[in-house]
């Protein structure tokens, strides 16, 4: 299908619009799975590790203690860097 798009020469504005839209979708697709699970945590995982409620999690985000990452253009998925959570407390307080 990719070859068919590249070989097609648009003749109308609508065809140009469709090709531009397809190119934008193609550009965004790799970003949908760009979050590796080992380096990033979901809010539920952060709450579990820190033993806090979801409300407290969002308070930490609001206070800019934690920074969230939303790779989805619509902002449906939220992630936090694992290293950011680990650096909240000194290593002496962490359990293995």
Q: Does the pLDDT of residue 65 top 80, yes or no?
A: yes
Q: Does the pLDDT of residue 28 top 70, yes or no?
A: no
This prediction has a pTM of 0.55
Q: Does the pLDDT of residue 56 top 90, yes or no?
A: yes
Give the torsion sign (CA, 7, 13, 15, 16).
positive
Helices in the chain by DSSP H: which ranges?
2-7, 13-32, 43-50, 54-62, 82-86
Cα 82 from chain centre: 13
Rounded CA-CA distance 22/16 in Å is: 10
């Amino acid at each position: 299908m990719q070859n068919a798009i590249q070989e097609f020469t648009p003749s109308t504005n609508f065809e140009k619009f469709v090709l531009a839209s397809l190119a934008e979708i193609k550009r965004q697709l790799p970003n949908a799975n760009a979050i590796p699970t080992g380096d990033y945590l979901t809010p539920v995982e952060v709450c579990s590790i820190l033993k806090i409620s979801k409300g407290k999690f969002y308070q930490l985000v609001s206070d800019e203690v934690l920074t969230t990452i939303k790779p989805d253009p619509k902002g449906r998925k939220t992630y936090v860097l694992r290293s950011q959570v680990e650096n909240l407390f000194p290593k002496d307080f962490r359990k293995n």
